[in-house]
Chains A and B, each alone.
Chain A
Amino acid sequence: MNIYVCVKHVPDSAATITVEGDNAINEKITWLMNPYDEHALTEAARIKAAGKAVEIVAVCLGKPAAENTLRSAMAMGADRSILIETDQYHDSIITARALAAAIRKDGTPWIIFTGKESIDSEGMQTQFRLAQHLGLPVATNVIKINADSGGVTVECEREAGTIDVYRMAAPCVVGAGKGLNNPNYPTFPDIVRSRKKPVKRIDLAEQAIDRPAAGMQIRELVPAVEQRTPKALAGSAADIAAQIVDILKNEAKVI
């Protein structure tokens, strides 16, 4: 009855990203745990604290530096972690196969958490591919979860204002959404304890992964330049308010 939390080591959303060559970024920036994975870990720790799970295992496919994210995961409640080491970027097809192989080999999953997406590639696919490989049910953008011995009831936020409620048999895969909880960040004593927790390193090349028939490659990375065209509005407060309404209605078309 383990909870597995799949985490990703991603660039800080506040970092200045510079493209190097055709399809890489300068990696000398701050990297950290994908923010949605923080919600997953917080929820996993809450479920474990309620006495419902034996162990929380964080799993990550990444370069050796991704150990930092696993250390953060263990400070936030994971008992141990597995780093599937690689030296390159992988798409969600390989990622899901690697995570599935590592989890299958490690133990018996009860709930497998992922974030609902990663903030770098924003693919929103890994949780579904992972579930498919393991033959498990999956729900994503989960904002509420109730786990019992029979299974898991989740609330998933769809478009604004719409919530789906699902009942899934365990084991299952859950993609954590932002509304799930407030991340429970570690205190200094948590961090001290996490330093003694083990990280098991396995090599991606040595995993028994079926070669997929399809794959996705980054051919070219181009910086997105936001066009900002500020415009000063003149007139009385009432005039300006009327102009703003007109812009929102007719230019931006948001009201």
Chain B
Amino acid sequence: MTKKYDAIIIGAGVIGAPIAYELSKMGYKTMSVDKLPDAGEGSTAGSCAIVRAHYSTEDGVAFAYEGFKYWLDWENYLDHVKDEKGLAKFMNTGSLLIKSQGHKWQNVKKHYDAVGVQYKELTNEEILEMIPVLDLHEFWPVKRPEDPAFWEDPTKMLEGGLFCPEGGYVNDPALSAHNIMRAAEAKGATFMFNAEVVNIRAAEGKVQGITLADGTEIDAPVVVNCAGPHSFKVNQMAPGVWEGCNIKTKALRHEVMYCPAPEDYDYLNKGYHQSDGDIGCYVRPEVGNMYLIGSEDPECDPQEWVDPDEFYAGKGGHGRDNQLSEEQWKAQCYRLGRRVPTLQVPNQPKGVVDLYDCSDDWIPVYDKSDLGGFYMAVGTSGNQYKNAPVVGRMMAELIDACEKGLDHDKEPFQYKMKYTGRTLDVGFFSRKREINYNSSFSVNG
């Protein structure tokens, strides 16, 4: 027997779960399906879960800052739901953006002022008081250790940074998605796991429902693609959807390293999240007094676009599969080693390799589609974790408005943010947009 719902959400990661939550709160009977065994087990689990406000556009900054308020008020957001696994914790370390040629920090500062983000401008001396292990020489441009220029001595100094005290990271990103799932279930949402979508059924220009690998058919007038790195495959299953997108998504392989902090530096308890475009890295503390070292995708680094199914199956070979590569281990650890000269780099790579669901301009697509009732929250490009609860609310309102007759392509939906009070033109995230050249074209967004 075919099961019927008001809305099907494909993907129970940190983007899909809040959409299910918000739609349920609005009275929709939702069914979330995910091919993995539990919420947040996919690329959400591999997220660094950074919560920062610096983005290259003012709307990007406002959106992220709105998200801060959800993380700072997590239990309230979840309506005090109980999760047998416990609650994810927002580690409010503060977030330091190093002023460098690798970031358009002048724009960030302007956007901070426009949005009202709390921040403090720091000199090098003030940064060193906070983080005594740093060497604040300028190493720009970002290079790879294979390049002889990587090893040259620096001559210039950096010019300080912007410190945002409300930033930080979430200690367990998979758990945060699980928390939202429990909150959604408390509002009536249903989640189905080990459920892989193989077909999106449609008739007369309207979506009808989905078919799972085991043949199960689930019907709903609304289907939302939150499939993360599989988003392009799901869009391709829905008639006319892929073709109707001017901005497309694909899966980008990404390595994050764990390197122990220097023994005399309590990075876990006293450290900050730090974005350092000068060395093309961002870092945050991890359990075991580790530096978690992410890459800001500098131009000199290879970009490996992969098939998500092959990647997760460990196929594709060196530098394309789900194994850390020695070259990238050295690149990211040595870059941080320049900034933290007492950092000791083990011989064995340790870290996480996962995928970004990356859009053409590294700005997500939060939109309807050319197929009636089919929506997408895709192309999150490694930089939308922090925004996820806001995305949930915005997508739910967008879906509700469109289902009630709004022509979002002609008259873009205007989303009023609850905490900052700003109105966001959701058309900014349109699938029909031209490539946004204000973007950083990186994880910085």
Contacts and interface: CB of A to CB of B under 8 A. Distances in A.
A72 B344 CA distance: 12
Interface of A is mostly: loop
B346 A183 contact: yes
Contact of B323 (A29, A188, A195): A29
A60 to B, nearest CB: 14
A16 B347 contact: no
Contacts, number: 59
B349 interface: yes
Q: How large is the interface on B (under 10, 10 to 19, 20 to 34, 35 or more residues)?
A: 20 to 34
A16 B349 contact: no
B314 A185 contact: no
B323 A16 contact: yes
A187 interface: yes
Nearest to B148: A195
Contacts of A31: 326
B334 interface: yes
Interface of B is mostly: loop
A137 interface: no
Interface string A10-42: 001111100000000000111111010010000
A16 B318 CA distance: 10
A30 B344 contact: no
B221 interface: no
B348 A188 contact: no
A31 B327 CA distance: 11
Nearest to B338: A188
B342 interface: yes
A32 B338 CA distance: 22
Nearest to A192: B151
B151 A187 contact: no
A32 B337 contact: no
Please give me the 8 A-B residue pairs with the lowest Cβ-Cβ distance, nearest first.
Answer: A188-B337, A185-B344, A30-B326, A28-B318, A32-B347, A185-B346, A72-B347, A33-B347
Given A30-B326, A30-B349, A191-B345, 13 more contacts: A12-B348, A12-B349, A14-B349, A15-B323, A16-B323, A28-B317, A35-B347, A35-B348, A185-B347, A187-B342, A188-B341, A189-B341, A191-B334
Interface of B: 151, 314, 317-318, 321, 323-326, 329, 334, 337-338, 341-350
28 contacts: A13-B348, A14-B323, A14-B324, A14-B349, A16-B314, A16-B323, A29-B318, A29-B323, A30-B324, A30-B329, A31-B326, A32-B347, A32-B348, A35-B348, A38-B347, A68-B326, A72-B347, A184-B344, A185-B344, A185-B346, A186-B344, A187-B337, A187-B343, A188-B334, A188-B345, A191-B334, A192-B151, A195-B151
